[in-house]
Structures are given as C-alpha cells and as structure tokens.
Amino acid sequence: MKCDQPRAGIVGLGTYVPERVLTNEELQQMVDTSDEWIRARTGIRERRVASPDEAASDLALVACQRALEDAGIGPDEIDLIIAATNTPDMLFPATACLLQDRIGAAGAGAFDLLAGCTGFIYGVAVGAQFITAGAARTVLVVGAEALTRIINWQDRNTCVLFGDGAGAVVLREVPGDRGILSTVLGADGSGARHLYMPAGGSRLPASAETVAKGLHYVHMNGREVFKFAVRAMEDGAREVLRRAGLTGADVDFLIPHQANIRIIEHAAKKMNLPMDRVAVNVDRYGNTSTASIPLALEESVKKGKIKDGDNVVMVGFGAGLTWAGLLIRWYDYKK
C-alpha cells in the first residue's frame, strides 16, 4: 500500500508492562541454562511476567487508556478497535470486544487480528486503510501478550525468550506530508510448523492427552525461524522503502521486532544504520510479540530519538510465518 492524501498517522501512544521482573539468574534456578548462554544467543537479560490475575486484556486496557490520554481524546471518539494478540483471554469473544466494553467505546467496532509477532504492524496497516478510505476517523490499535501463560518452563529454547506486555497507538488523519507512507504485508504458510501451539483449536481440542503431551505450549524450531527472520527483516525494510520511492539513505530511525539482538543487528547492518538509530529494548523485555514494536516506539519517542519529519521504518516477523514493514514520516502531535 502506498498512501495518497489523506494520510493516517499516529497521534497517541501508550504502553504497559507487568511489575514482575524475571531475570536470567532466576531462570538458571528453573531450567538448564545460564545468564551467559541466554545473553550470547539472544541479548536478553530479563523479561516481565504477568501476575496470576492479569490476562492479555488487562495489559491492553492500561496501554489503551494511556494512548487515549496521550492523544487527548475520549473513548466515545473511537470508531474502531483492532487488538493484535496471540494470547487472547479466550478463543471467543474477541479481546477487542472486551476492551471496547471496558474502555467505554460503545460506538466502536472491534475485532482481533492474529498474525503472530507481526500482528501490530498488520493492525496498523489495516487501521490506516479505514482512515484513508474515509470509513473511520479514529482507530485504536493495540498489541498485547501474556505469552508466559503458554510457555513450557522446562524448555530452555523457548522459556528464556518471551515476556508479557502491551502497546497501543491512536491513528488519525495527520497534516501535510506526515503519516504512513507505505506498508507491506507478507506470509509464508509453508513455515507454519516452525512456530506454533499445536493444541487448543479445532484440530486438537483440549483433552487430558494434549495437556499431558504439552501441546498447549509454544513449539519452535529456532534455527528455521532465525533463518526466516533475517531474510524477512531485510526484505520487509527494502520493500517498504521501494513502495514509497525512498532508499535506505532516507531512513532516520529503525524499529525492528525485538526478538533477538543478533537479528536486530543484522537488520541494522543491511540498512547501513548505526545502532544509535535503532530501537533496542529486547535486553529488558525479551520478545513481547505484538507488543514489541509499540513498546520500542514509545520509548524511542520519549527519549527524543524520533523527531517531527523523521522517516521511521518498522519491520517484523512472526508465526505464520508472517512478515511486514511500515514506513511512517513522524508527526509530532505534541507540538
């Protein structure tokens, strides 16, 4: 998609992470691993874990409320809520519908979007098209995950990677040449078996046998996902720039999915960007899936690393296998 006028842009940001911090040192007491092993392979030193009474919608609610406050708008102004999550409170109804009620957005449409860790970019791309088509004025997009609920804490290949959190953005039409310039969405379903949760759906409904076999946990072929990720991040960034008629030299800041520091560094190298122009918080939060990019975005904006008029590339990959890129010319909605 290459957007003509009007352009949708981000006019509000909000995030939330649980209070509980789980360090690598604590994981050493739970599974055969070490702080050195985890850091060397992933760059992660700690992650956040939702409390027993926190579900994905609880994390999302706080992030959404903060995004609305940041945008200076009320819930009655929301036309559509898109919740990107791999860990909904339940299979149905949609987590977005639970949020609609709790936020008080009585007049808004609401649906969930499932695209693995890439879900947030997918959600923003979809929400932006509602705005550019004139079908909505205000869209709330949130990525929220309680991934630690579906992790096998005896599997050191997965339990060290994931954390919980939520991040939300408010989309509206923005002035001038600001806003979303282009997006690209991709998928390769032949790789679905490399990152999935086997049971809990209609293929393998919950049973004593599926629970005993651990089929309700995340299963991942790390080697294959890594190979896909480095290709997808590079291809997504290149394609989103091509669609906007720009090159790597035009990029001011990169916000990659926070899954692994080696993948992030590879993406930065391919775009010829120094690491001080790349968002990195994987060390503190681990892989928060759909919450990863909005968490990194808000942090970068607050630190002043992203300024009005900057060309910002967001790129990610995830289960599906999916990948996506988004190019936005930042609009300083606070000025």
Write down the catalytic residue from 64, 159, 257, 266: 257
What is the per-residue pLDDT for 40? 95
CB 289, CB 318: distance < 8 Å: yes
Nearest alpha-carbon partner for 145 in 162, 169, 125: 162
In the block, tokens 């791999």 appear at: 86
Q: Over the stretch 136-153, which tens digit does the pLDDT of each residue have?
A: 999 999 999 999 999 999
Nearest alpha-carbon partner for 38 in 286, 318, 296: 286
What is the per-residue pLDDT for 5? 65
**Could you give the residue ranges of the DSSP H alpha helices within the chain?**
24-28, 35-42, 56-71, 95-103, 119-132, 156-159, 208-212, 222-244, 261-270, 282-285, 292-302
Q: Quick one: fold of 7-176?
A: Peroxisomal Thiolase; Chain A, domain 1 (3.40.47)
Write down the catalytic residue from 64, 117, 159, 260: 117
Q: Is the pLDDT of residue 321 over 50?
A: yes
What is the per-residue pLDDT for 186? 97
How far apart are the C-alpha atoms of 14 and 318, rounded to whole Å?
A: 22
Domain 7-176 identical in fold to domain 181-329: yes
Write down the catalytic residue from 24, 86, 287, 311: 287
Q: Is the pLDDT of residue 99 over 60?
A: yes
219 is catalytic: no
Q: How many CB atoms lie within 10 A of CB 136?
A: 20
157 is catalytic: no
> How is the chain split into domains, by residue range?
7-176, 181-329
- Whether the pTM exceeds 0.85: the reply is yes
Q: What would the CATH number be for the domain defined by 181-329?
A: 3.40.47.10
287 is catalytic: yes
